[in-house]
């Protein structure tokens, strides 16, 4: 039994020594692991810092790209809206022209008729019943006044020389016609004979 106890003691001592060697090895490994872990912790911190920097750069680039896209998109929308507005304005103009074309043509015809009527009236005025002078005493000159009447000349007894401007509708005297009227009213009329030598 003592032998057995000695055997057990020797066996336990051997195991303790083996366990102590194992513990010593494990402690060395733990120390090495701690060193590696510290190094790894430093590496992890550096990597985390780099990841944070890269994220900031990516966010900045994303914001820049978003801003550039927004500006381009806004400009494209402005151009599109401008083009749509121009097309709409052209359509409205074309519609207005189509609707008003008949009225415009009628207005042009009426204006043309008024001009023609006025010119015909100027020529025919001396032959109308309401004309107060002898048509034989009347000369049509057209511009700057329509008629000159040598009142009584056909009878051999000249009473007056009358300048006549015929107006139809609501027409008024032009600036040149008013100057002629004022010159006659202020007795700024002369008689001259120009002798031409041949």
Q: What is the pLDDT of residues 41-81, one digit of tens each?
A: 666 677 677 767 767 877 787 778 778 877 877 888 888 89
Token digits of residue 117: 């009527």
The span from the CA of 108 to the CA of 111, in Å, is: 5
**HSE toward the beta carbon, residue 22, CA cutoff 13 A:** 6
- Mean pLDDT within 19-31: 65
Summarize pLDDT for 157-188 with one digit per residue, the tens.
999 999 998 887 777 888 999 999 999 999 99
What dihedral angle (degrees, nearest 10) is formed by the CA atoms of 143, 145, 146, 149? -130
Q: Is 39 exposed, middle or buried (0-12, 13-18, 19+ CB in 10 A)?
A: exposed
Q: Tell me what the pLDDT averaged over the chain comes to.
A: 80
Residue 2 has pLDDT above 60, yes or no: no
What is the pLDDT, as a whole number, of residue 115?
76
Summarize pLDDT for 120-142 with one digit per residue, the tens.
777 788 888 888 999 999 998 88
Radius of gyration (Cα) for the chain, nearest Å? 59
Q: Residue 139: enclosing H or E segment and its boundaries?
A: strand 138-140
Alpha-helical segments (H) within the chain: 2-124, 175-185
Domain definitions of the chain by residue range = 112-185
CA 25-30-34 angle, 5° bins? 150
- The more confident residue out of 2 and 169 is 169
Long-range pairs of 9-13 with CB within 8 A, sequence gap ≥ 24 = none
Q: For the chain, how long is the longest CA-to-CA vector?
A: 190
């Amino acid at each position: 039994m003592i032998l057995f106890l000695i055997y057990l003691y020797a066996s336990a001592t051997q195991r303790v020594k083996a366990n102590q060697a194992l513990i010593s090895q494990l402690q060395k490994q733990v120390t090495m692991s701690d060193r590696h872990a510290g190094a790894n912790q430093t590496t992890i911190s550096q990597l985390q810092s780099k990841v944070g920097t890269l994220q900031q750069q990516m966010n900045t680039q994303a914001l820049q790209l978003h801003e550039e896209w927004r500006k381009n998109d806004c400009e494209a929308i402005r151009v599109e809206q401008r083009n749509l507005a121009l097309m709409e304005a052209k359509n409205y103009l074309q519609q207005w022209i189509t609707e008003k074309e008949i009225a415009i043509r009628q207005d042009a015809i009426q204006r043309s008729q008024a001009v023609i009527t006025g010119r015909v009236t100027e020529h025919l005025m001396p032959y109308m019943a309401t004309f107060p002078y002898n048509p034989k005493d009347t000369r049509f000159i057209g511009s700057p006044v329509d008629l000159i009447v040598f009142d009584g000349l056909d009878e051999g007894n000249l009473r007056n020389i009358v300048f006549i401007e015929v107006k139809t509708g609501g027409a008024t005297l032009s600036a040149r016609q008013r100057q002629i009227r004022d010159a006659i009213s202020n007795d700024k009329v002369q008689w001259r004979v120009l002798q031409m030598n041949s």
